[in-house]
Every structure is written in C-alpha cells, then in structure tokens.
Amino acid sequence: MLANLIMEAKHTVIFSGAGMSTESGIPDFRSATQGMWRHKDPAKLASTYALEHNRDEFVAFYRARIEGLQTCAPHDGHRILAEWEQRGLVHSIITQNVDGFHALAGSRYVAELHGTISRVHCQHCARVYSAVHYLEEEGTVCECGGFLRPSVVLFGESLPDDAVDMAERETYAADLFIVLGSSLQVSPANLFPQVAKRNGAKFVIVNMEPTELDYLADLVVHERKIGEVLAEANKIICTNE
Ligand code: APR
C-alpha cells in the first residue's frame, strides 16, 4: 500500500525523526529500550539552561554525540530516500534529526528543523567551525575568544526561520506526508504532520512503536524497521517502473 501511495502521489514529503538513524547506530530519544532521554534529562543537557548554567555537562554531552557520529554513517534507507528524490518520487525531507545523514546520503532538498551537530558556531561572533573542531582540547573557544556551541536547536530556542519556511511550504504542497521514525511528541515539529493531514494530504506513519498521531494516519506501520519497509517499497516501485 505504501508503494502504491508513493507511485500515485504528486508531491510526497518525508518527515523523519531519530528512528530514521537508529539503524545507523545512533540511539533515539524515547524508545522504550535505548532512548537517550530514558537515562538523561534533556532539560539539563540539551537546553539553553544547560548552555548557561551547566556548561561542562553540556559540552561533554555534545562532544560524546559528535564523537559518536564519527563512527556512524547513513544506511540504505537514507540512500533509498535520496534515490526517490532523484526519480521525482519524493519532493523533500523535513527532518528533526541533527546528524546530517539525509544530505550525506544524497538528498538535496532537506529542512533541518532542529539544526545540526555537524557544525558548531560562536555564541559571540557567529563564526562557524566543523563539529570535529569541538573534540579538540581548546575546541570550545572561538578565535574571537567567544564560546563555541553546536548549531543545534536547544530546548528553549526557536527553530531556524529558513527551515521552518521550507517545512511550511512543503507541508502545504504535500499530497502524501510520510513520517519515518518519530514519536511525534515534540512541538512545534509535530504540528507539520497535523497541518498536512488537515490540508488533505494522505498521512502515513512508519514507526516501531505507537505514536501520538496514529489516530490521524491513513496508514500506520508499527513493529517494522524503517530500513526494511523502505527496501520492500522500493522493490515494488522498481518492478512497477
Ligand atoms: N524503525 C522504525 N521505528 C524506529 C526505529 C526503526 N529502526 N528505531 C526507532 N524507532 C522509533 C521509536 O519507536 C520511537 O518511537 O522512532 C521513534 C523515535 O522517537 P524519539 O526518540 O522521540 O525521536 P524524535 O521523535 O525524533 O524526537 C523529536 O525530540 O529530543 C528532541 O530534538 C530532539 O529531534 C528530537 C525530538
């Protein structure tokens, strides 16, 4: 059914969450078993409060995530989405992920709603450095002397205007809106699927566990790995082309 929806649609938008990258070896946040927020408090680590009042733990947390990224890579699911974009089957990706893997796998039209940890920037002069710089001894100090922090949206910060503008345009243009690997618990990101549905798009959720918006979806796929679901849909699409 997913393959048919993709082949019939005129403007398909993918909305991805941390579940898109667990098969690349990156833990998600709220999975019952491995979710990162099961053992850590996001408010104490991934927030403006942490940036100001908990700086050592903040830096250690993001250094560990940047370090982890160095040994991970996009998986076949990311590559299938990039191929579908090239073949006109997917128009864009709205992602909550900060690993940069959609672009690394070749997707060109990606809105990074929550920024990225592939770059860090200076709180004072906004100069940008690549994330690996953060792993060096003096990696948190800018040439201007300012404090360097990952270019990720922290809890308490607003989403980047350009990503939100693109996500809004794509959400309104979508006639098929597919969620891949998100618990859909975090706003305002979780408003986009609701707007797409209200705007008449077919709404699909592919997620291991139930989500907050399952009741709204035209198709829900639980307890299946995203990589496998995309590979199976791709096989059907390729035999129908
Ligand atoms: N296949 C399918 N679903 C999966 C897979 C997989 N291989 N791996 C994990 N999942 C599902 C989990 O069951 C979980 O419901 O992906 C979902 C991921 O949900 P979250 O961990 O809440 O991640 P996400 O929805 O992206 O979180 C949103 O919260 O902490 C903030 O800014 C952070 O962008 C993040 C936001």
Q: What confidence tens digit (pLDDT) does each residue in 124-166 have?
A: 999 999 999 999 988 999 999 999 999 999 999 999 999 999 9
Angle at 110 between CA 105 and CA 114, to 5 degrees: 105
Tell me if 16 CB under 6 Å of ligand 1: no
Residue nearest to atom 26 of ligand 1 (CA): 17
Instruction: Using the predicted structure, report yes or no on whether residue 239 has a pLDDT greater than 80.
Output: yes
Q: For the chain, what are the domain ranges?
A: 2-25+74-114+159-240, 30-71+122-152
Domain 2-25+74-114+159-240: CATH superfamily is: TPP-binding domain (3.40.50.1220)
Average pLDDT over residues 72-90: 98
Phi-psi category of residue 156: left, alpha or beta, with phi > 0 → left and psi -120 to 50 → alpha: left
CA 34 to each of CA 18, 116, 206: distance values in angstroms, whole numbers, following the listed order: 12, 21, 18
Q: Which residues carry out catalysis?
A: 114
Give the pLDDT band (50/70/90) at residue 41: confident
Share of the chain above pLDDT 90, in %: 91
Question: Residue 241: its pLDDT value, please?
Answer: 73
Counting atoms of ligand 1 from 1, which one is nearest the CA of 211? Answer: 15
User: In the sheet where 128-130 sits, what is the strand order?
Assistant: 128-130, 115-122, 148-152
Instruction: Using the predicted structure, report yes or no on whether residue 32 has a pLDDT greater than 80.
Output: no
Distance (Å) from CA 219 to ligand 1 centroid: 18
Tell me if 43 CB under 6 Å of ligand 1: no
Phi-psi category of residue 204: left, alpha or beta, with phi > 0 → left and psi -120 to 50 → alpha: beta
| pLDDT (tens digit per residue) in 201-219 | 999 999 999 999 999 999 9
Please state, rounded to an integer, the average pLDDT across all residues of the chain.
95
Question: Residue 90: its pLDDT value, please?
Answer: 98
The Cα 231–Cα 65 span in angstroms is 28
Tell me if 160 CB under 6 Å of ligand 1: no
The Cα 79–Cα 134 span in angstroms is 28
Three-class HEC string of the chain: CHHHHHHHCCCEEEEECHHHCHHHCCCCCCCCCCCHHHCCCHHHHCEHHHHHHCHHHHHHHHHHHHHHHHCCCCCHHHHHHHHHHHCCCCCEEEECCCCCHHHHCCCCCEEECCEEEEEEEECCCCCEEEHHHHHCCCCCECCCCCEEEEEECCECCCCCHHHHHHHHHHHHHCCEEEEECCCCCCCCCCHHHHHHHHCCCEEEEECCCCCCCHHHCCEEECCCCHHHHHHHHHHHHHHHC
Distance (Å) from CA 125 to ligand 1 centroid: 33
Tell me if 159 CB under 6 Å of ligand 1: no
